[in-house]
Structure formats: structure tokens, C-alpha cells
């Protein structure tokens, strides 16, 4: 009950963007998912009522029909692949821009951003933590070829690094989301550093390339000098936040008009039925794609819009 009160207080507190980000951010315990879900406004279902919408109902199984399973990987934009997941295809993403809107420097303070400056009608999907390791989700991304960027928490993924290698093999990148999901502004600078560096090393070893980006749990502390310094010491070259946060059926928007904008970064989580009121990861992700499709956006690869520092 006080969970709900807390959520409402946070939503309506003036200038509480950071707190809002905190509440809508990643789960650190069993209650956060429910708290976030409580933030979904009653009017949050899409107003457009697009006839193209084909999101599965909550009661429907998220899995594909076995008889519809193709023998080979369908091509991008393959309507049959989308139909298998009860979805309307998204528009194809435009080619990656040659001149990257985000250019990262090799040294010095790292930028903090929650959107990318672009006129392309694209959004970027990021998925955090790593708790749910649903094989069906690998199948879904294999079929749909929707790019995602993963911000992984070491202690949440270390029991099965291999799961995320399967997603990486689809072309998706792995980024740093701390050792154990600490709330960074609540811990001293040295601990902030170890939270990042002690995740950076194993993620680099496991996935073969150093994470380029860092996301603090809950978005907390993103704009503090202490966190910026710690990130610089450990290797990532930017701090990435988000504009929308996917709940179960809809996104929570920071924009008052509850609309996606070109270049928005969307936050989702590796979550399963325990945190999604019985829905599966693929059902949640299908709903996310439906919300994006209804608004006419493509999903582009975040890293295609970022120029990494010269080696």
C-alpha cells in the first residue's frame, strides 16, 4: 500500500526527474517491478487504437505456434516472422549514419545522455540487469532481428554468461551495469569505482570487448562528479540513461504527451513472470514492439549512432 503512495508521490513531485528515473529504473528487489508497474497510468494504453496493432492479450501464450516455426532464419522484415509472434512488422531502420551524432572521446569526462540527436524516425531499445534468461527471447530476437543493447549486472548474469553470448551473436552489444546493482550515490567513490571496474573486467573477458557504455542502477548519481570520475577510471566512455521505461504493457514516458521522439532511448529489463505479473519476457517485449510500431518508429542499433574513441 505504501508502495503505491510512494510511486504517486514520486510521479507528482516537482522536478523529481532523477527520482522518477530511480523508481522506473531497474529492479534491485522483488518490489521494484510492482512499484514500477503501479506507475503505469490508467490511460496509458495507446490512444491511437491502430488497427495494425496485434499485441498479444495478457492471457495469450507468448510462445510462437510450433507449426509456424520456420526452418531457417527469416529475413529482416519478414512478415511471417512477425506474424509468428503475433506482431505487425516495424518499419526497417534506415542505414546507420556515416556521421555519428554521438562522438566519444578517449579520455576526459564522459557525456551523460538519454537520447540521441537524429532526425531518423528511430528509437533505441536497451535491456538491463539480466535476471530473466528466457530461451524464447533468443528465438524472438533471432526471428525479428530487432537490435538491442544490453546493460548487464555482473552478479545477476555470472551464473550464465553464455545466455547473453547468444544475444551478442545476433550483433547486439554488451555494456556495464555494475557488479551488484548498487545505488551509486549512496556509496563512497571507491565503492563506485569497484562497482564499475569489477564488472568491466569480467564482461570484457566474457564478451571479448570492453563495454563502451555504463548505466548506473536507477539512473542514480548519473550527473555527479564522483560517478563520472569512476566511469572514467574503469573504461566506459559514456553514461546512458533513457527517455521511456517499459513496464508490462506500456511504456512510462518522461515526456508529458506520452509520445516517442526520434532518437529516444527506451529502457526495458530482462524480466520474467515473477516480475511481470505472470507475463513472459517475450510477451512484454512484444508489447514494447507494438507500442513502438503504433507510433511509426523503427528500432535502430544504438551503437550505430555512436562513434567510439579511436584506439
Which residues make up the interface to Zn ion (CB under 5 A)? 26, 128-129, 217
By beta-carbon proximity to Zn ion, the closer residue of 22 and 81 is 22
By beta-carbon proximity to Zn ion, the closer residue of 129 and 287 is 129
> In sequence order, what are the residues at sequence separation of 6 or more whose Cβ sits closer than 8 angstroms to the Cβ of residue 278?
58
By beta-carbon proximity to Zn ion, the closer residue of 55 and 227 is 227
Minimum CB separation from Zn ion for residue 81, in Å? 29
> Comparing C-alpha atoms, which of 78, 55, 130, 40 is closest to residue 289?
55
By beta-carbon proximity to Zn ion, the closer residue of 161 and 297 is 161
By beta-carbon proximity to Zn ion, the closer residue of 26 and 222 is 26
Minimum CB separation from Zn ion for residue 177, in Å? 5
Minimum CB separation from Zn ion for residue 275, in Å? 12
Task: Report the alpha-carbon distance of residue 271 to residue 190 in Å, rounded.
Answer: 30
Number of residue whose CB is nearest Zn ion: 26
Minimum CB separation from Zn ion for residue 113, in Å? 17
* Helices 135-144, 281-294: inter-axial angle, 10-degree rounding: 30
Vertex 111, ends 106 and 116: CA angle to 5°? 110
By beta-carbon proximity to Zn ion, the closer residue of 115 and 129 is 129
**Per the structure block, which three cell numbers stand in for 91?**
518499419
Vertex 203, ends 199 and 204: CA angle to 5°? 115
Task: Report the alpha-carbon distance of residue 74 to residue 97 in Å, rounded.
Answer: 25
By beta-carbon proximity to Zn ion, the closer residue of 217 and 286 is 217
Minimum CB separation from Zn ion for residue 274, in Å? 16
Minimum CB separation from Zn ion for residue 26, in Å? 2
Minimum CB separation from Zn ion for residue 308, in Å? 23
Tell me how far apart the terminal alpha carbons of the chain are, to the nearest angstrom: 52
Amino acid at each position: 500500500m505504501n508502495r503505491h503512495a510512494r510511486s504517486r508521490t514520486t510521479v507528482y513531485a516537482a522536478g523529481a526527474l532523477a527520482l522518477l528515473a530511480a523508481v522506473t529504473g531497474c529492479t534491485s528487489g522483488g518490489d521494484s517491478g510492482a512499484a514500477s508497474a503501479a506507475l503505469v497510468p490508467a490511460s496509458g494504453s495507446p490512444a491511437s487504437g491502430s488497427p495494425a496493432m496485434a499485441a498479444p492479450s495478457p492471457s495469450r501464450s507468448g510462445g510462437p505456434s510450433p507449426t509456424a516455426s520456420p526452418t531457417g532464419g527469416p529475413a529482416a522484415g519478414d512478415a511471417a516472422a512477425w506474424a509468428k509472434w503475433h506482431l505487425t512488422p516495424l518499419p526497417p531502420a534506415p542505414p546507420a549514419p556515416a556521421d555519428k551524432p554521438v562522438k566519444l572521446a578517449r579520455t576526459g569526462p564522459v557525456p551523460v545522455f538519454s537520447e540521441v540527436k537524429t532526425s531518423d524516425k528511430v528509437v533505441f531499445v536497451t535491456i538491463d540487469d539480466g535476471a530473466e534468461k528466457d530461451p524464447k527471447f533468443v528465438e524472438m530476437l533471432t526471428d525479428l532481428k530487432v537490435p538491442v543493447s544490453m546493460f548487464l549486472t555482473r552478479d545477476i548474469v555470472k551464473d550464465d554468461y553464455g545466455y547473453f553470448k547468444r544475444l551478442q551473436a545476433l550483433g547486439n552489444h554488451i555494456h556495464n551495469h555494475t557488479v551488484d546493482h548498487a545505488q551509486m550515490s549512496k556509496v563512497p567513490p571507491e565503492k563506485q569505482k569497484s562497482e564499475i571496474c569489477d564488472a568491466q573486467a569480467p564482461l570484457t573477458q566474457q564478451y571479448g570487448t570492453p563495454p563502451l557504455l555504463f548505466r548506473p542502477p536507477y539512473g542514480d548519481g548519473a550527473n555527479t562528479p564522483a560517478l563520472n570520475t569512476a566511469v572514467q577510471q574503469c573504461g566506459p566512455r559514456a553514461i546512458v540513461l533513457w527517455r521511456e521505461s517499459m513496464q508490462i504493457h506500456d511504456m512510462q514516458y518522461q515526456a508529458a504527451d506520452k509520445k516517442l521522439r526520434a532518437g529516444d532511448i527506451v529502457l526495458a529489463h530482462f524480466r520474467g513472470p515473477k516480475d511481470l505479473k505472470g507475463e513472459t519476457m517475450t510477451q512484454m517485449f512484444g508489447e514494447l514492439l507494438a507500442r513502438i510500431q503504433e507510433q511509426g518508429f523503427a528500432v535502430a542499433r544504438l551503437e550505430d549512432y555512436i562513434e567510439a574513441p579511436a584506439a
